Chain A
Amino acid sequence: MTATDPGRAAATSTGTRLAGLAGRLFGGGGPTVFALLIVIFALIFVMNPSFAEPPSLMAFLKAAAPLVVLAVGQYFVIVCGELDLSVGSLVGAQVVIAAALIDGEESRTVPVLLVMLAFGALVGLVNGLITTLLKVHSLITTLGMMLVLYGAIRLWTGGSPKGALSEAFRTAGRGGIDMPVVRQLPWALIILVAVVVLAIVVMRSSYGRTLVATGDNDQAAMFAGVRVWQVRTSAFVLSSLMATLAGVLIGGFAGVTAQVGQGLEFTAITAVVLGGVVLGGGRGTVVAAMAGALTIQALFTLFNQMALPSTIRPAVQGVIIIAAVAYAARERAGPGAQDHAPAAPPDQNPDREPAAT
């Protein structure tokens, strides 16, 4: 629980806020992602000055919204020490369910949204209960859930999605409020801001602190009176609800195909880890996780600006991810890390030690 805001403690102890900020940006650790984000944006602006105009920024944020929402959900799960591989197939499942149930009828939009929320919550609940009560590692639980969702949805639809989304449903993902300056304020952005605010509020509440404490050291959390299984299960439910929301946004933005959501789980996990959140839990902030998602989306935009052949993009993405995480790990791997994290296994999560800050 002491590790919720390591950056702030560092800044006040050094005294000078500016030096603290620079140190936080470039000194390794979680906030490195902000530096990376700034660098990528600077590159995009240099290559294409018109990108700085509000309409293109709005378009960027609209496209980024689903990934940020997914990253928030994944953050909840990762920070409490688990992993959710089922979000990608859940996004796909929700889009296909929406299309099949709405079938183009406007009046069914709201009931179907409620069904989707209930289904999302159910998937999260099952993930959480299997992981906590049956003690199955969350990687396996959610991998199994991924297979089950993938198979069940295709079994139900016979291989290819059927039906159609209603216009009202698609508004959330692609519509917006017309207004001056930005031309159109996307609904997706409003939803995104709401999610961001909600996530920050949640993480500052006692529930959020409990979540981090559980990920940091669940035995200590348990002795402090935390019902660990309830906390973890609720994190899975939150993750699945966020995946549902992301499904609504993606369905509106991109429409229905059989491939929707494929591989999104890995992108979301990468975004969260890029934000300095440690796999294994207890470390990192939700704001940094969201910045990680924006960074990945910005990277995709940069690839577009550079007209990089689509085939080589994964390779560049892979190099940048490894380099960024290695850079962020630099501080922990250095000689100084030994005196505050002596008992952590050096090969994996060197800073899982609760006393690290």
Chain B
Amino acid sequence: MRSGTRPTGMSRTANRVADVAEAPTTAIRRRLGTTELVYLALLGVMVGGAILVALQDKNLFSTANTVEMLSRSSLLGFIAIGQTLVILCRSLDLSVGYVVALSSLVAATTMDGDPARVPLAIAVTLLVAGGIGLANGLIISVLKVNPFITTLGMGLIIKGYLDTEYKGPAGAVPESFRQFGYSRIGFVPVSAAVMLLAAVAGILYLRKTRTGFHMYAVGGNAEVARMSGIRTGRVMVTAHVLCAMTAGVAGLLLAARFGTGSAEVYENGYELESIAAVVLGGTFLMGGRGGVAGTLAGVLILAELDTIFNILQVDPFFKDVLRGVIIIAAVAIYARRRLDVRASRARFGGDGGADGGPPPEPPPRHDDDPARPHQGGVR
């Protein structure tokens, strides 16, 4: 015990001080889930942004700005919803940016300006994207290649194909399908409405279906999930197929906005941005905790920030700096909360995070915590 406590002596004291200081608020904070916190953060960003914008005599909530914010959110939203599923399974998809580019090209070249071919193009695009997701999932679950390497390699493969096959924009999108990119109902762009529907579907999928439940189980502890009779491989493959397909929808949206397919969009770094949005939404990067509702808030936060920066005419490079700082700060706040949750269930401390996760906090040992009497047994 003595040797065990030595390295953490300082942080322990700090924790205890923090506990005492936060004692009145912890009860409230425990009742708030991470998702609620993310929505509070979104509200905070909106209020703060509105005040800053109001100082310049502009209105953040004017129709134009709201439309801009929502249409910004729809593209990233689709990608991030899929990314949530794979991250919940403790995987990750770095190929989504390339899938978006490929999908926009497949859609635009299949449509080729003919409105009658729109349904066919949508089907082909989703099929191609789903096929890529299937390949990702199978390589990860059958060949046991790390997801990071699998999807990075898959991204390179698609990049090679795109660079070789398409020297520039290709295909044409008929006017009827371009409505998906531009038209709006009231102040809600159609694309954002579809994205919100997809988010609701995602939430229901995770909460109401068997496979959705299994995703949490696999991400929490794949071995326990397997021993409980879950076919972990299938769950992983499903998550990757769905993720690639939502990226395919994002590609369709891009094709509708540009009116043509474009390979260059893979340079936009959607993969990292979507991961940032998912994590900003409170989903645990090491799997098993989180959900689409949080991701939606994460996406809206990023889109709202972008809109605010645009109205305030913040230097685009300074935007990157701010975004980096905000993402780190937000995740640091969630991490603090997660420590609180761990402390309340010390019995299970260090279960999920032991495999290369964020450094698992040494099992919290409050002297007054009866849950861990056996701690002294550590030699």
A193 at the interface (CB under 8 A from B): no
State how many residues of chain A have any CB contact under 8 Å with chain B.
74
Contact B327 A147 (CB under 8 A): yes
Q: Any chain A CB within 8 A of the CB of B305? A: no
Is B159 a contact of A322 with CB atoms below 8 Å?
no
Interface residues of B, count at CB 8 A:
75
Cβ B356 vs Cβ A147 within 8 A: no
Partner pick for B328 among A144, A151, A227, CB 8 A cutoff: A144
A215 to B323, CA, bound (A): 30
A143, closest chain B residue (CB): B272
A314-328 vs B: 1/0 string, CB under 8 Å? 111111011001100
For B335, the chain A residues whose CB sits under 8 A away are 134-136
Q: Which residues of B in the span 308-366 have a Cβ within 8 Å of any Cβ on A? A: 315, 317-325, 327-328, 331-332, 335-336, 338-339, 350, 354-363
B154 touches A346 (CB 8 A): no
Q: Which of A141, A270, A344 contacts B152 (CB 8 A)?
A: A270
Name which residue of chain B comes closest to A266, CB basis.
B152
Name B90's contact: one of A139, A219, A345 (CB within 8 Å). Answer: A345
Which chain B residues border A270 with CB–CB below 8 Å? 149, 152
Which B137-181 residues have C-beta < 8 A from chain A?
139-141, 143-150, 152-161, 163-164
Bound CA–CA A319/B331 (angstroms): 34
Q: Does A184 contact B (CB under 8 A)?
A: no
> CA of A270 to CA of B315 in the docked complex: distance in angstroms?
34
* Residues A139 and B285 in contact, CB atoms below 8 Å apart: yes
Interface-lining segment among B39-47, B65-73, B114-122, B219-227: B219-227
Contact between A219 and B285, CB atoms less than 8 A apart: no
B13 contacts A by Cβ under 8 Å: no
**Which residue among A154, A159, A215 has the maximum number of chain B CB atoms within 10 Å of its CB?**
A154
A333 interface residue per 8 A CB criterion: yes
CB distance from B93 to the nearest CB of A (A): 13
Task: Determine which of B153, B236, B315, B358 lies in contact with A347 in the assembled complex, contact meaning CB atoms within 8 Å.
Answer: B236
- Distance between Cα atoms of A316 and B331 in the complex (Å): 36
Residues of A within 8 A of B350 (CB): 219
Let me know if A246 is at the binding interface, CB within 8 A: no
Q: CB distance A147 to B324 under 8 Å? A: yes
Tell me which of A104-112, A195-203, A348-356 binds B: A348-356
Contact B163 A314 (CB under 8 A): yes
Q: A329-B144, A345-B222 are in contact. Are A312 and B163 (CB under 8 A)?
A: yes
Across the interface, A136 reaches (CB within 8 A) one of B155, B233, B318, B332, namely B332
Q: Flag if A148 contacts B321 (CB, 8 Å).
A: yes
The reply to whether B320 and A151 contact each other, CB–CB distance below 8 Å, is yes
Among the stretches A42-50, A92-100, A273-281, the one at the interface with B is A273-281
| Contact bitstring A209-249, B, C-beta under 8 A = 1, else 0 | 00000010111001101111100100000000000000000
CB distance from A199 to the nearest CB of B (A): 21
Residue pair B4, A318 in contact (C-beta under 8 Å): no
- The reply to whether A317 and B156 contact each other, CB–CB distance below 8 Å, is yes
Q: Which of A217, A280, A314 contacts B159 (CB 8 A)?
A: A314
Whether B7 and A140, one on each chain, are in contact in the complex, defined by CB atoms closer than 8 angstroms, is no
Q: Is the Cβ of B145 less than 8 Å from the Cβ of A155?
A: no
Does A145 touch B at the CB level, under 8 Å? yes
* Contact for B150 among A140, A150, A322, CB less than 8 A: A322
Query: A266 to B336, alpha carbons, bound, how many Å?
Result: 29
Question: A136 to B226, Cβ gap below 8 A?
Answer: no
Contacts A222-B7, A312-B160, A333-B143 hold; do A136 and B149 have CB atoms under 8 A apart?
Answer: no
For residue A349, which residues in chain B have a CB less than 8 angstroms away from its CB?
146, 355-356
A146 at the B interface (CB under 8 A): yes
A217 contacts which chain B residues (CB < 8 A)? 354
B155 proximity list for chain A (CB < 8 A): 318
| Closest CB in chain B relative to A134 CB, distance in Å | 4
With a CB–CB cut-off of 8 A, which chain B residues contact A226? Answer: 7
Q: Is A222 a contact of B160 with CB atoms below 8 Å?
A: no
Decide: B90 and A348 in contact? CB cutoff 8 A.
Answer: yes
Closest Cβ of chain A to B254, distance in Å, is 21
What is the CB-to-nearest-CB distance from A119 to chain B, in angstroms, rounded to a whole number? 16
A137 at the B interface (CB under 8 A): yes
The 8 Å CB contact of A155, one of B317, B357, B359, is: B317
Flag whether A254 is at the interface (Cβ < 8 A). Answer: no
Contact residues in A for B247 (Cβ distance below 8 Å): none
Task: Verify if B108 is at the interface (C-beta below 8 Å from A).
Answer: no
Picked from A81, A135, A140, A326, the residue with its CB within 8 Å of the CB of B339 is A135
**Are the C-beta atoms of B317 and A148 separated by less than 8 Å?**
no
Whether, in the assembled complex, A152 has its beta carbon less than 8 Å from a beta carbon of chain B, the answer is yes
A131 to B332 Cα, complex, angstroms: 9
Residues of A within 8 A of B293 (CB): none
Interface residue A166 (Cβ < 8 Å from any Cβ of B): no
CA distance A306 to B143 in the complex (A): 29
- Nearest CB of chain B from residue A324's CB, rounded to whole Å: 9
- CB <8 Å contact, B154 and A322: yes
Whole-angstrom distance from the CB of A344 to the nearest CB of chain B?
7
Are A228 and B7 in contact, CB atoms less than 8 angstroms apart? yes
Give the complex CA separation of A155 and B233 in angstroms: 46
- Report if A225-B153 is in contact (Cβ < 8 Å); known contacts: A140-B285, A347-B140: no
Pairwise interchain contact A151-B222, C-beta atoms closer than 8 A: no
Complex contact A333–B144 (CB within 8 A):
yes
Given contacts A140-B331, A349-B355, contact A315 B143 (CB under 8 A): no
In the complex, the answer to whether A321 meets B359 with C-beta atoms within 8 Å is no
Beyond A150-B320, A225-B6, A322-B143, 4 additional pairs, beta carbon < 8 A: A144-B324, A314-B159, A318-B154, A329-B143
30 pairs, CB–CB < 8 Å, chain A vs chain B: A136-B331, A140-B327, A144-B325, A144-B327, A145-B324, A150-B317, A151-B318, A152-B317, A155-B317, A215-B356, A222-B4, A223-B4, A225-B6, A225-B7, A273-B149, A279-B356, A313-B160, A315-B157, A317-B153, A318-B153, A318-B156, A325-B146, A325-B150, A333-B143, A346-B232, A347-B90, A347-B144, A349-B355, A352-B355, A352-B356
Task: Give the 5 A-B CB pairs with smallest separation, nearest first.
Answer: A315-B160, A280-B356, A151-B320, A318-B156, A147-B324
